[in-house]
Chains A and B, each alone.
Chain A
């Protein structure tokens, strides 16, 4: 499979719990992006990596959110002490390098109860 994959596809958690999502980009893509999408809105940028370096973080990314991309391959996004407002679809995308088209994974739908 040559597409972007994400795991899990769905996650239901209780408020206050920590969750972690994983993204596997298209191989040889050195850029990896995380977005969040809520109903009726387009995806909103959260952060991106160039290889293993996290180069930018959005203001949306509070200190409860952390992302890593060890060895420049897969990436994880962790949300600590989840809140109901964190309920959304979390999308991962990758691109060959900057200013190339981004390809999206299927997303992880998070529901915080």
Chain B
């Protein structure tokens, strides 16, 4: 059974801090790893990673995939109160033709940024 584990499950930081969120996986037929941000609504897409070692950046957020270690990290620098949310890691698996493709999610990391 495919498994995605995120850590820590929750953390509290102060505005301006830098945080690192972790995701590890054990799956069959890995295709990509995705990060989503979820506030009190549906998950919002952040990054999709397919290649090891290539960092993706969007403003203060960045993420990198390590296929050897079967893991990924999401970094947020200079955190703001608006970064408070649940951060979900998901792994897409499936055959080369897209058969049986699906996302397996971790439980999410609850980040609270205090002013």
Contact = CB atoms under 8 A, between A and B. Distances in A.
Interface of A: 4, 31, 33, 35, 40-45, 48, 50, 55-56, 58, 91, 97-99, 101-107
Given A42-B90, A42-B108, A99-B32, A55 B99 contact: yes
Interface of B: 4, 31-32, 34, 36, 41-45, 48, 88, 90, 92, 94, 97-108
A48 B48 CA distance: 20
Contacts, number: 62
A44 B103 CA distance: 8
Contacts of A103: 45
Contact of A41 (B48, B99, B107): B107
A6 B44 CA distance: 15
A98 B98 contact: yes
Contacts of B88: 42-43
A106 B41 contact: yes
Contacts of A98: 94, 97-98, 101
Given A42-B88, A42-B90, A42-B108, A102 B42 contact: no
A102 B45 CA distance: 8
